[in-house]
Structure 1
């Protein structure tokens, strides 16, 4: 299997594993970049920070995570990750649930005009 890399306005991600019961991505967020404020109906996520600093929105909370730290995103939780730093933020995302398609992203806010 070749690892698929997808470039986005905020950085890029590479799919490391895509199986029936899980999906694993290596996500790189450029300095000052952030993903959309979103939620999922069919998956939860576990984020493990490899490098840099993550500012995570989880429902009403803002939480900072650094290299070696992790956070769990429950099913249906409103969430976002952003990179407040001057170097790339790199983290591993492990998705579990019954469906892992990109169309399970419900965007509530997006800096890049995506729906």
Structure 2
């Protein structure tokens, strides 16, 4: 494994780094029922989500994609995206990030249910 495992709690659930190396990172993401991640973009990485449990409602550049266990969703570099769990059971996703940089500071939040750093837009 690339680096020490990292486990992080968020208001919407948890994520854990399973593996990391040059040009990639693999995470296990768990989204609590009724919660969703921020609508965000990344300048340096693509993401590929594989649903392993639950049902993922994904918003990709304004288009809704529903993915069930065994199905996957691809997010290209720069595409706006979010994962939501609209169901009563937990949602577990394996996320594969690919790109020159996979750091957590490569997130631009466009919308966030939890008041985290969303850029100001004038009315």
Q: Give the TM-score of the pair, scaled to structure 2.
A: 0.91
Instruction: Give the aligned length.
Output: 115
CA deviations on 1:56-93 (whole Å, 9 max, x unpaired) are 00002011000000010000001000000101100100
Query: Retained in 1: the 8 A contact 2:23–2:102?
Result: no
For residues 1-115 of structure 1, the aligned pairs below 5 Å read: 2-115=4-117
Runs of at least 5 residues in structure 2 that lack an aligned partner in the other structure: 118-123
Distance, in Å, in 2 between the alignment partners of 1:60 and 1:93 is 20
Distance, in Å, in 1 between the alignment partners of 2:81 and 2:6 is 24
Larger strand percent: 1
Query: Retained in 1: the 8 A contact 2:51–2:69?
Result: yes
Q: Which aligned runs of 4 or more in structure 1 are off by greater than 3 angstroms?
A: none
Distance, in Å, in 1 between the alignment partners of 2:92 and 2:106 is 22
Runs of at least 5 residues in structure 1 that lack an aligned partner in the other structure: none
Q: If you compute each CA radius of gyration, which structure gives the higher value, 1 or 2? A: 2
SS for the counterpart of 1:111 is coil
2:120 corresponds in structure 1 to: none
Taking only aligned residues, the RMSD between alpha carbons, in angstroms, comes to: 0.8
